[in-house]
Amino acid sequence: MEVHCHLAQPRPYRPRRPAQTVLYQVVQGHLETVLAAQGDGASPIPAHAERALRRYLECGILAHGFARARCGDCGHDFLIAFSCKGRGVCPSCNTRRMAETAAHMVDHVLPPVAMRQWVLSLPKRLRWHLHHQPGALDMALRILLDAIERHLREHCHAAGTNARGGAVAFIHRFGSALNAHPHFHVCAIDGVFEPHGEGVRFHPTPAPSPHDIETVQAAVRRRILRAVHRRRWSGPVSRRCGSRHGWCTRTRAARSWSRASRAGRSRRWSRACAKRRWAPA
């Protein structure tokens, strides 16, 4: 049997046409109208959002700057339009940043051990404070990471008290419906590291049960509400969040992926977490 192996050929450069997309046409046609309506009682648009929208209208447009490239083999010249390198509106720049983040994590950050994704969604009554209070998101994320690490340490009997976990967290500020919905995606190592000689020793932990997830959620809820009361952000509102029906949070622990499937699974997870959910792809 004869087998022929065809090497992949490089694809020719094809410039994208952002002006032909629906998103570009909507922003171009209505941005000035929306900005002009701010003085008529409409909610003001933040300055950073206006800058991002205006930069998006210049992204990929040759009239706003380009680089000239030349092929050394055929001598053909072509123009490459500058990108806005934004983090919010532009689908092209978001996708490129998402792919670069995933590749960096898989190649240089994530170790070859089992990992698990944890997701925390916070109640609506606290989301305003998470958006507007300085340090609120960092406080909630630290509490979540500490609760996950404590759970892993308690369920790894071979590890000592100085064992530490490892995680990479992404903060998402919006939901799929463009609603203000701050939540966290955390890729945590399914185990703990303990100092051993000049290096470290890894201790894996068993998969969390539904009871374990509820325990982590209860600890996160208790500590976040305690921090809210201590900072006097909201009195009766935050107390209602502590009731059984007021704390509309969700804590999920996805299936772990092993070393064998690490490359593909970690890259897919990293791309999904690094993606800006509120920007169309």
Domains of the chain: 18-81 (no CATH), 113-258 (3.30.70)
| Whole-structure pTM value | 0.74
Rounded Cα gap, residues 48 and 46, in angstroms: 6
Residue 281 tokens, joined: 């792809």
Flag whether pLDDT at 249 surpasses 70: no
Indicate the average pLDDT of the chain.
80
pLDDT at 248: 45
pLDDT at 245: 39
pLDDT at 236: 45
Rounded Cα gap, residues 201 and 215, in angstroms: 27
Of 79, 84, 52, 57, nearest to 68 by C-alpha is 79
Residues facing 67 on adjacent strands: 80
pLDDT at 160: 82
Express each pLDDT in 149-180 by its tens digit.
999 999 988 888 889 999 999 888 887 776 78
CB 186 within 8 A of CB 117: yes
Residue 189 CA neighbour count, 13 Å, CB half: 19
Rounded Cα gap, residues 15 and 78, in angstroms: 10
pLDDT at 26: 94
pLDDT at 281: 31
Q: Who has greater pLDDT, 194 or 262? A: 194
DSSP labels for 172-227?
EEE-TTS-EEEEEEEEEESEEEEEETTEEEEEE-PPPPHHHHHHHHHHHHHHHHHH
Mean pLDDT of 6-27: 82
Flag whether pLDDT at 9 surpasses 80: no
pLDDT at 30: 93
pLDDT at 106: 86
The proportion of the chain whose per-residue pLDDT surpasses 70, expressed as a percent, equals: 78
DSSP labels for 16-46?
--GGGSHHHHHHHHHHHHHHHGGGGTPPPPP
Express each pLDDT in 29-47 by its tens digit.
999 998 888 776 667 788 8
Rounded Cα gap, residues 143 and 126, in angstroms: 15
pLDDT at 246: 45
pLDDT at 197: 85
